[in-house]
Amino acid sequence: MTLTSDVDLSGAETAEMTTAVAMNSALDLALAADPRVLLLGEDIADPSGGVFKVTRGLSTRHGTSRVRDTPIAEQSILGAAIGAALAGYRPVAEVMFFDFVTVAMDQLVNHAAKFRYLSGGQHPVPITVRTVVGNSRFGAQHSQSLEAWFMHTPGIKVAFPSTPSDAKGLLASCVFDDDPCLFIEHVALHYSQKEPVPTGEHRVPLGQAAVRRAGDDVTVISYGAQMPGVLAAADTLAGEGISAEVVDLRTLVPLDFPTVLASVARTRRAVVVHGATRFAGPGAEIAATITEELFEELAHPVTRLGARYVPTPFLASGLEPLPVAADVVGAVRRLASS
Amino acid sequence: MTLTSDVDLSGAETAEMTTAVAMNSALDLALAADPRVLLLGEDIADPSGGVFKVTRGLSTRHGTSRVRDTPIAEQSILGAAIGAALAGYRPVAEVMFFDFVTVAMDQLVNHAAKFRYLSGGQHPVPITVRTVVGNSRFGAQHSQSLEAWFMHTPGIKVAFPSTPSDAKGLLASCVFDDDPCLFIEHVALHYSQKEPVPTGEHRVPLGQAAVRRAGDDVTVISYGAQMPGVLAAADTLAGEGISAEVVDLRTLVPLDFPTVLASVARTRRAVVVHGATRFAGPGAEIAATITEELFEELAHPVTRLGARYVPTPFLASGLEPLPVAADVVGAVRRLASS
Amino acid sequence: MTDTQLAQPHAPAGLPPLAVLERMYEVMRTVTVTDERARAEAKAGRMPAAFYPVRGLEGVCAALGAVLTPDDHLVSTYRNLADTVAKGVPLRAVIAELHGRVPGSSKGKGGTMHMHHDPSGLMATTGIVGSGLPIAAGLALGAQLDGGGRAVAVTFGDGATSIGAYHEAMNLAALWHLPLVFVCQNNMWAEHTPIAAYAPSTALAERAAAYNMAADAVDGFDPIETWRVLGAAVARARAGEGPTFVECRTYRLVGHTSSADYSYMPPAELDAALARDPAPTFRAWLADGDHVAPARLDEIDKAVDTGVDDAFDFAQSAPHPEPGAIYDDVFADRTWVEGR
Amino acid sequence: MTDTQLAQPHAPAGLPPLAVLERMYEVMRTVTVTDERARAEAKAGRMPAAFYPVRGLEGVCAALGAVLTPDDHLVSTYRNLADTVAKGVPLRAVIAELHGRVPGSSKGKGGTMHMHHDPSGLMATTGIVGSGLPIAAGLALGAQLDGGGRAVAVTFGDGATSIGAYHEAMNLAALWHLPLVFVCQNNMWAEHTPIAAYAPSTALAERAAAYNMAADAVDGFDPIETWRVLGAAVARARAGEGPTFVECRTYRLVGHTSSADYSYMPPAELDAALARDPAPTFRAWLADGDHVAPARLDEIDKAVDTGVDDAFDFAQSAPHPEPGAIYDDVFADRTWVEGR
Ligand SMILES: Cc1ncc(C[n+]2csc(CCOP(=O)(O)OP(=O)(O)O)c2C)c(N)n1
Ligand SMILES: Cc1ncc(C[n+]2csc(CCOP(=O)(O)OP(=O)(O)O)c2C)c(N)n1
Ligand SMILES: [Mg+2]
Ligand SMILES: [Mg+2]
């Protein structure tokens, strides 16, 4: 099954785009539309155009003054983004891999996420931080999915798209949002899928989940790089006569509880699936909230699937820490069969 | 009601100690017992003896070569601790306030927590990182309770004591544990309470919760600086005829689920209370796990009380982001009355 | 104070004009008086705040305030009273913030370490050592992209030169020729640790020069010399000639916080510094050198004292935020926030 | 290569002894051959690993290996093949790790960026730019507390000099006079960005000297000069005279990763560097100067080629970890881990 965005594209001119190309388009349009948009990051300017080529061509089109290569110094990248935001700009900073935010958490957590509050509303920080979850090909320091840390940090929004169209639409929304946004990409999604994406201005609002597939028996809640596996699992399950509703959260802050709860209220069974570590992960919050709201309706406790409690073992080892489609199939079967 | 440790102190010589003094005693004994124990941190040597005086006298007794003042540079403090650990030492590093780990997350998360794994067991990292949760007197950058981030990071143990005796016993266990340990103190507990604490060697094992108060109607699960309020609430509730069992987790990794589940299996009602932000906080994991294990037994969904989703407002503002005893009383009452 | 001109290319010649001299003195006196008062209020329990005294920095901050305009941006630290006053933040807003009240510069929710005042160009203060520097680099990038003419300054302590964020910001500012003045308020102490105990080289300006930026050291107890050197640095920033590092050598005249002790400070060192207490020393120099008439100085003193009393009275009778205000300003929209 | 002696106080005089020359050549040749082979295996899909080529660093690493003993500790980066080989990690263990196999140096779970080999003193490698430096400072603290005599070295790229961790470690090492050698492998590139585009001053050794530590720059394509300067630095560390920063100037002879392109590298620059390709250049010098007999060099070449083939054969036929091994070595005890 192909993922499709829930945004109505009829009327809009579209082109087949990968996620990387769709993000490139969002950034290109933002740079063209608003002189206050700035890009900062390591190797993002041409000829490199970013290690995943997401910013390819942008410095050539918009100048290296607005699409700026930086030294390898993430504290200064994020600090510069925050400062430029205070000066009226809308910086988009790239942290090459999510794991590298660990060298610059202070700027994001103590400053970007708090300045609006600590200034009594005087100093919002409209920055977007783009970052990438890697995979085990690179080992344990290039494959962590740390969104739970930022869900737990009041003051920063978190988007994690799973389709090209959403990647474009959510990135545009982040860039033009007046709050700091963490925009999470996954290396497995950059070039894995093409779909028609509006060539012009396209936004997907922050805080709206998408029902990717309607179903009656069980609700599967997921986002980001787990979505293809979840949808494949739903296909398999459909073949067995089990109808799974699939909710793609798209943003984790704000998290669209109304959509999640409406679905689970109907199916009375839920599975949450993510690539982040299961223990104290995003699924814990989602499961706890569903349970608080729908305790009487639930036929079963919410099932959580997430990465095992281990540093990521190297890909070549063959060890798999992440939930795969078969795990989802198994979990849904267990819920549906009782 | 006075908190007392569950450790049997009969026989052992004891003295009345505050938490700060009890920790000092643990460090003093560790330094005396094992020449590989080292202390690193800002202002920890005499005459300062640490901003909260926890290390007072230790550099005088054990020398400034083993109790070392450092520059204000947390990455190098934690990196030096990790390196010294690889060289065979047992460093105890101080990060003055928990919020400051944000400048050094990389060392803790990417290196300390992963080296044992990434070296195939060759290079354990037996460091202890002591840090302090402040309060809103200092504002939003000196009052964050970030333990959830570390629960979510495979490879690092997390202790958060609530009593002088546990502070001593857990700190000693951390120092002599072969894995990296994050030992969390709270500024409100350093000098708030005295109790008899063994003057000699005293250890509280990591991963064992303590039942502070037995009860039948509701289980209240908490730890650290929320414990005094929780116990006060239990007193109030007792006056109303509601019997609350109070579990002090003491360590969050490993988290003692057997003790928690045994209690809730009996009471069928649970409230989790912590000073960390409620959203995606430690309580989410605890509530989700309880629900997974005891869904059929639970009379109600688990109630979670935690800090509101806001940066900490300045103390003098009078705004209160944390759950207080009255909130606990209210939550327990609601559960018990239905 | 010496009247000799610095070799500095952009150094303003001679002395500041009378209005500037008067304003500098007013700032210094205000800071001295407010600092004493704030510590007393904290001690008395009327101001439930951690407070970081600034005594010793009066001249440095007055000089910085005198060379910046409200359009220029400033980033400061937890030890920000002198910076905020010098930058022109109304004293009432400052003191109300220290008391957590609604008319505070951050509506009472920021507190001591978190002063923001957009109209005066006070863009942020931080409680995390060194973290203001990268943010100031971003403000300076903004000023540069706006077309120049505006300067950005950032203040920080001697201890901050040890931390990573300092290095990254220095490097970036030098690389991008940012219009940024790094004002190192060297008070010779980082909490209870003297500079020689944590710095392999205490030649901070030399270390800064290695980044390939202009760097200078100045006697921070000499407001006139400081004004010249900071003025030159700001002029260089405005002219698009890149960043400057200025080490202002002072001494911390009181403890690290309002409650800290002095026991670890060598008494002779402290006494020598106290003998140069900036505001009274500057006052004497202004009077003795006939730069400002004694009667005018008396007038300023009186106005300052009245202003300080007024600010504390104002603050202590101002309202606290309504409980519901706790959810304001987490995000632009508070709907989702309230539900969590 | 010049035979002139350096002014360096501890510089060993003359040339390395024959055994060292041979070993250096063996290391360089091993690295060159293994690097080519690893890229080929990755491309062919037989080695599912991100791999960071080291071509260009052969001489620097061989020199470093020659001045360290197995007791000395080394911390390296993701670009670690030459460091690990030079430090004496058995090639089979290295290549098996790149293939994720049980006999790998980290039992196959670490991979390319995470090589550890305690018996050889390879204490860590990191995938985070700059992060190895503070850890190396800690190892050096350990060596110092042990009573000295042992040296610690850390390798890192030119790009790492921009990041905070670098600064903090330099500062700490200078302050504590740690027995640490900072080996900057300057290959003139940080991914696709040339050094001049990110460094306000490319005089890296001068910048290092500002920390008040010994600092030197060396032609990293000259293994003998590099051996002398690194030898002096290690001798200084062993003698308790504190840290040294050595900038080894080389050039990256291939792309940033095994899959990267060269399009952004000025062809003339790359060609000039390739003309000095370390292993063949050193071989010619050894032979032409009668330092090592050609027949002996042929022998080494043959042994190296056989050894490399053997290591890849060994690795590719070695077992993967059992599935249950995923829970090993998170903590000392895996009980709790399995349940999560
Ligand atoms: C990252 C970080 N580490 C530690 C602290 C605790 N701390 C607050 S002030 C201070 C001393 C700073 O010294 P210096 O930079 O000289 O400034 P001063 O306080 O003397 O003005 C320290 C260590 C902090 N706020 N942030
Ligand atoms: C903190 C951090 N930021 C960014 C990266 C991505 N990255 C990996 S290698 C590299 C270039 C490093 O350049 P240099 O230090 O010169 O070493 P080289 O790769 O040239 O050996 C970058 C930016 C990283 N690994 N860590
Ligand atoms: Mg200072
Ligand atoms: Mg390089």
- Per-residue pLDDT, averaged over C53-72, amounts to 97
> Which atom number of ligand 2 is nearest to the Cα of residue D256?
19
Q: Is residue D313's pLDDT more than 80?
A: yes
SS3 content of chain C, % helix, strand, coil (to 5): 50, 10, 40
Q: Which percentage of chain D shows pLDDT scores above 70?
A: 96
Number of C-alpha atoms within 13 angstroms, CB side, residue C185?
Answer: 30
Shortest Cα distance, chain A CAs vs residue D78, angstroms: 10
Is B6 within a domain? no
pLDDT in tens, A257-301: 999 999 999 999 999 999 999 999 999 999 999 999 999 999 999
Using one digit for the tens of pLDDT, what is the confidence trace for A151-210? 999 999 999 999 999 999 999 999 999 999 999 999 999 999 999 999 999 999 999 999
β partners of residue D114: none
C313 in contact with B, Cβ within 8 Å: no
Summarised one tens digit per residue, pLDDT across range D244-264 is 999 999 999 998 887 767 888
Write out the H or E segment, with its range, that includes residue A38. Answer: strand A37-41
Q: For residues A27 and A170, state if they share a domain.
A: yes
Residues B194 and B243 in one domain: no
Share of chain C above pLDDT 70, in %: 96
Asked if residue D2 has pLDDT above 60, the reply is no
- Asked if residue B145 and residue B30 are part of one domain, the reply reads yes
Looking at A150, A167, A198, the residue that finishes a domain is A198
Contacts of D136 in chain B (CB under 8 A): 83
Q: Kindly report, residue by residue over B250-302, the tens digit of the pLDDT.
A: 999 999 999 999 999 999 999 999 999 999 999 999 999 999 999 999 999 99
Residue B111 is classified by DSSP as I
pLDDT at B7: 57
Question: Is C202 in CB contact (< 8 Å) with chain D?
Answer: no
B114–chain A nearest CA distance, Å: 6
Quick check: A60 and A27 in contact, CB under 8 A? no
What confidence score (pLDDT) does residue D3 get? Answer: 34
Q: How confident is the model at residue C256 (pLDDT cuts 50, 70, 90)?
A: confident
Work out the average pLDDT over B189-207.
97
Distance CA C137, CA B284 (A): 39
State the fold for domain D14-292+302-317.
Rossmann fold (3.40.50)
Using the Cβ of C318 and the Cβ atoms of chain A, whether some distance falls under 8 Å is answered with no
Q: What pLDDT sits at residue D10?
A: 53
Q: Do C163 and D168 touch (CB under 8 A)?
A: yes
- Nearest CA of chain B to the CA of C17: how many Å? 40
> Of B119, B174, B176, B255, which to mutate for an interface test with D (greatest number of D Cβ within 10 Å)?
B119
Chain D positions touching A316 (Cβ under 8 A) are: 47-49, 98-101, 108, 111
Interchain CB distance below 8 Å, A139 and B117: no
pLDDT score at C12: 61
For residue D22, the model assigns a pLDDT of: 98
The pLDDT value recorded for residue D6 is 35
Q: Which of A15-19, B308-312, C157-161, C195-199 has the lowest mean pLDDT?
A: C195-199
Domain range for A52: 14-198
- Measured between alpha carbons, how far is A76 from A47 in angstroms, rounded to an integer? 23
Strands C214-219 and C244-249, sheet pairing: parallel
> Which residues of chain A make contact with B146, given a CB cutoff of 8 A?
152
Does residue C336 belong to the interface with chain A, where contact is any CB pair within 8 Å?
yes
Three-point CA angle B147, B151, B157, nearest 5°: 95
Query: Residue A234 maps to which CATH number?
Result: 3.40.50.920
Whether pLDDT at B3 is above 70? no
Of A131, A127, A108, residue with least CA distance to A51: A131
How many whole angstroms separate alpha carbon D316 and alpha carbon D310?
A: 10
Ligand 2 binding pocket includes D211 (Cβ within 6 Å): no
CA distance A122 to A9: 37
Note the ipTM here. 0.97
- Answer yes or no: are the C-beta atoms of B268 and B298 closer than 8 Å: yes
Which CATH number fits the domain that encloses residue B112? 3.40.50.970
pLDDT interval class at C11 (50, 70, 90): low
Q: How confident is the model at residue C14 (pLDDT cuts 50, 70, 90)?
A: confident
The percent of residues above 70 in pLDDT, for chain B, comes to 97
Alpha carbon of C152 to ligand 2 centroid (Å): 30
B229 inside domain: yes
Of D212, D245, D247, which to mutate for an interface test with C (greatest number of C Cβ within 10 Å)?
A: D212
The confidence score (pLDDT) of residue C212 equals: 96
Query: Do A152 and A218 have their domain in common?
Result: no
pLDDT at D139 over 80: yes
In the listed set B198, B228, B260, which residue is the last one of a domain according to the structure?
B198
How does the average pLDDT of chain D come out, rounded? 94
C73 in contact with D, Cβ within 8 Å? no
Whether D141 and D176 have beta carbons less than 8 Å apart is answered as: yes
Q: Residue A296 and residue A299: Cα distance in Å, rounded?
A: 8
Nearest to D192 among A43, A100, A308 (CB): A43
**Which pLDDT score is estimated for A42?**
97
Cβ–Cβ < 8 Å for B82, D135 = yes
Residue A79 is predicted with a pLDDT of 98
- Output the pLDDT for position A63: 98
What does the alpha-carbon distance between residue B111 and residue B126 come to, in Å, rounded to a whole number?
12
Helices vs strands, H then E, count in chain C = 13, 8
CB of D248 closer than 6 angstroms to any ligand 2 atom: no
Mean pLDDT score across all residues of chain B = 96
In this structure, the residue with its CA closest to atom 7 of ligand 2 is D129
Q: Nearest ligand to the C-alpha of residue C53?
A: 1
Last-in-domain residue among A173, A198, A223: A198
Q: Are residues B143 and B235 in the same domain?
A: no
In terms of domains, do A160 and A224 share one?
Answer: no
Matching residue, tokens 């069974």: A269
Task: Give the number of the ligand closest to the Cα of residue D157.
Answer: 2
Ligand nearest to the CA of D126: 2
Query: Who among A80, A91, A123 is closest to C124 (CB)?
Result: A123
Q: Give yes or no for B78 touching D (CB within 8 A).
A: yes
pLDDT tens per residue, range A229-261: 999 999 999 999 999 999 999 999 999 999 999
Q: Are residues B192 and B215 in the same domain?
A: no
Interface check A70 vs D, CB under 8 A: yes
Per-residue model confidence (pLDDT) at position D262? 83
**B273 and B154 together in one domain:** no
Same domain membership, residue A277 and residue A183: no
For ligand 2, atom 25, the nearest C-alpha belongs to: D128
Instruction: Assess whether B216 and B169 both reside in one domain.
Output: no
Task: Summarize the confidence of residues C74-92 as an average pLDDT.
Answer: 98
Q: Does C257 touch chain D (CB under 8 A)?
A: no
C241 touches chain A (CB under 8 A): no
User: How close D168 gets to chain C, by Cα (Å)?
Assistant: 6
**Residue B317 is which amino acid?**
S
Q: What is the pLDDT of residue C312?
A: 98
**What digits encode the pLDDT tens for the residues A42-93?**
999 999 999 999 999 999 999 999 999 999 999 999 999 999 999 999 999 9
- Catalytic position from the list B62, B111, B142, B190: B142
Confirm if A207 and A174 have CB atoms less than 8 A apart: no
Sign of the alpha-carbon torsion through D45, D46, D52, D53: negative
Euclidean distance between CA atoms A8 and A225, whole angstroms: 23
Residue B300 is among the residues annotated as catalytic for this protein: no
Are residues B157 and B277 both part of a single domain? Answer: no
Res B2: pLDDT: 36
Determine the distance separating the centroid of ligand 3 and the alpha carbon of C127, expressed in angstroms: 14
What integer is the mean pLDDT of B233-247? 98
Q: Provide the domain count of chain A.
A: 2
Task: Judge if the beta carbon of residue D247 lies within 6 A of ligand 2.
Answer: no
pLDDT score for C6? 35
C213: closest chain D residue by CA: D200
CB contact under 8 A, B109 and A102: yes
How many CB contacts within 8 angstroms connect chain A with chain D? 132
Interface list for C 7-66 with B (CB within 8 A): 47-50
**DSSP characters over C173-207:** HHHTT--EEEEEEE-SEETTEEHHHH-S---HHHH
Q: What is the D194 CA–ligand 2 centroid distance (Å)?
A: 12
Are both A167 and A219 inside the same structural domain? Answer: no
Q: Are B119 and D116 within 8 A, CB to CB?
A: yes
Chain D closest-CA separation from residue B112 CA (Å) = 10
